[in-house]
A and B are shown apart, each in its own frame.
Chain A
Amino acid sequence: MATEAAHGADMAEHAVEGGLSFHPMDQFMIKPLFGAGDVGMFTITNVTLWMFICILAIIGVMVLGTSRRAIIPSRSQSVAELAYGFIYKMIEDVTGKDGLKYFPYIMTLFMFIVFSNFLGLIPMSFTTTSHIAVTWVLALAVFLGVTILGFVKNGVHFLGLFWVTSAPLALRPILAVIEIISYFVRPVSHSIRLAGNVMAGHAVMKVFAGFAALAVVSPVSIVAITAIYGLEVLVAFIQAYVFTILTCVYLKDALHPAH
């Protein structure tokens, strides 16, 4: 919050220059870490930095935290075991036992998203999951993986997913069209849901921080930032959870396409 306030003060200078100015989207800018210039594909940027921190955090909890292999776990080992059990149980509940083969892939998705979301809540940090490019790659990987898996596992029977046999025959072609559209919309909603939630929360916080420049409303805006921050902590976890459980649901469709 302190940095947000400092940022507000910075904005106040702008306000003196020419009215109140907001740059709520500037926090999502990609910047090269070393020097200036164009951002190429392999440029080391703030994206690289925060993804690297994300990897380190995951290694810290999941590898270093469990290094003692204690029967009675330490705190960090408990967290790692909790995350393991949480995702393991989710897959088992949603897809059944045969979905557990894909546990490492789903765990990778969940750990990346949850750690990116929470690291993004550190003031002045960069939130990688606020970018549609990132979430789109994640959602597309899930979509392609699940679709290919569905055809490999079930062959042509996978198309039964779109042919609702429990409906009257006359309705089935219409339902098939709806099912196909909804199937192809999945990666879109899957990716935009995550990026949109994260981006919106961060942008709203920035807008309130901009209002903090006005002395009259600054107490209100600081209280609002605090409240929104609490909400964002919830959103950070819930969106990771939602992304993961939807992945499990899609995986279930691929493994058991029958309605």
Chain B
Amino acid sequence: MAVEPIQEEMAGVCVDAHGSAIGMPQLCGEWIPNQIFWLIITLVVIFFVLSRIALPRIASVLAERQGTITNDISAAEELKRQAKDAEAAYEKALADARTEAQAIAQKARDEIKAKLDAATAEADAKIAEKSAESEKVLAGIRASAVESVEAVAKETAEAIVAALGTSADQAAIDAAVANRMKG
């Protein structure tokens, strides 16, 4: 410590003539009671300040914070649960919609198929009818054609016979033509 002139007056049991400590100040008995007195006062003051004001206050703040955290966590869990429920409902709605869409599509497909089948059957029937009709007409035409051929053949045969200069009766020519036509 700085040596100031004023301290030279303080020379005593613990301080030398220059104002410096003699030996260890910690071991100088003259200085001990003063420290113990002020220490006890200080400790009592600190104890009352801490135990009456500071520590209960900090304890309440910590407890309050713990409570807030617990509440917030449970609220967050509740919200999470709700979100999960909403997600499940959404998924369910989506699945339902998909099933319904599939059902509708299936139904539409079935309907179209039924209609198509009906139309095909009708068309087949019509075709069959038309072809039967045509066949009948064709048969008629063929029959009339054969008749005509026969008539023409008879006439031609008659004409050829006449041209050859011979006459034959109508009945013989008809029989001969009919005979030929069969073969």
Q: Which residues of A contact B (CB under 8 A)?
A: 7, 10, 14, 23, 25-31, 36-43, 45, 47-48, 51-52, 54-55, 58-59, 62-63, 66, 69-71, 73, 77, 80-81, 84-85, 103-105, 107-108, 111-112, 128, 130-134, 137-138, 141, 195, 199
Q: Which one of B3, B6, B20, B39 lies within 8 Å of A137 (CB-CB)?
A: B39
Q: Could you tell me the distance in whole angstroms from the C-beta of A29 to the nearest C-beta in chain B?
A: 5
The contact sample of 30 A-B pairs, CB cut-off 8 A, is: A10-B2, A23-B3, A25-B21, A28-B26, A30-B25, A31-B10, A36-B7, A38-B12, A47-B35, A51-B42, A54-B42, A58-B50, A69-B57, A69-B64, A71-B68, A77-B61, A81-B58, A81-B61, A81-B62, A84-B58, A85-B62, A103-B55, A107-B55, A112-B46, A128-B35, A128-B39, A131-B35, A132-B27, A134-B36, A138-B39
Query: Nearest residue in B to A87 (C-beta to C-beta)?
Result: B55
CB of B36 within 8 A of CB of A133, answer: yes
Query: Nearest residue in A to B7 (C-beta to C-beta)?
Result: A36
CB of A28 within 8 A of CB of B25, answer: yes
Q: Which one of A23, A71, A103, A108 lies within 8 Å of B43 (CB-CB)?
A: A108
Bound-state Cα–Cα, A43 to B10, Å: 14
- Most A CB within 10 A of own CB, among B23, B30, B49: B49
Q: Could you tell me the distance in whole angstroms from the C-beta of A35 to the nearest C-beta in chain B?
A: 10
Q: How many A-B residue pairs have CB under 8 A?
A: 151
B65 at the interface (CB under 8 A from A): yes
Q: Which one of A66, A103, A132, A199 lies within 8 Å of B57 (CB-CB)?
A: A66
B164 at the interface (CB under 8 A from A): no
Query: Nearest residue in B to A115 (C-beta to C-beta)?
Result: B46
B51 at the interface (CB under 8 A from A): yes
Query: B41 to chain A: which residues have CB within 8 Å?
Result: 51
Q: Could you tell me the distance in whole angstroms from the C-beta of A52 to the nearest C-beta in chain B?
A: 8
Query: A133 to chain B: which residues have CB within 8 Å?
Result: 26, 31-32, 35-36, 39
B47 at the interface (CB under 8 A from A): yes
Interface of B is mostly: helix
Query: A51 to chain B: which residues have CB within 8 Å?
Result: 38-39, 41-42
CB of B60 within 8 A of CB of A137, answer: no
Interface size on B, residues (CB 8 A): 49
Q: Which residues of B contact A (CB under 8 A)?
A: 1-3, 6-7, 9-10, 12, 14-15, 20-21, 23-27, 30-43, 45-47, 49-51, 53-55, 57-62, 64-65, 68
Bound-state Cα–Cα, A41 to B59, Å: 37
CB of B49 within 8 A of CB of A62, answer: yes
Q: Could you tell me the distance in whole angstroms from the C-beta of A42 to the nearest C-beta in chain B?
A: 6
Which 7 pairs from chain A and chain B are nearest by CB?
A26-B1, A62-B54, A104-B51, A28-B25, A51-B42, A41-B33, A30-B31
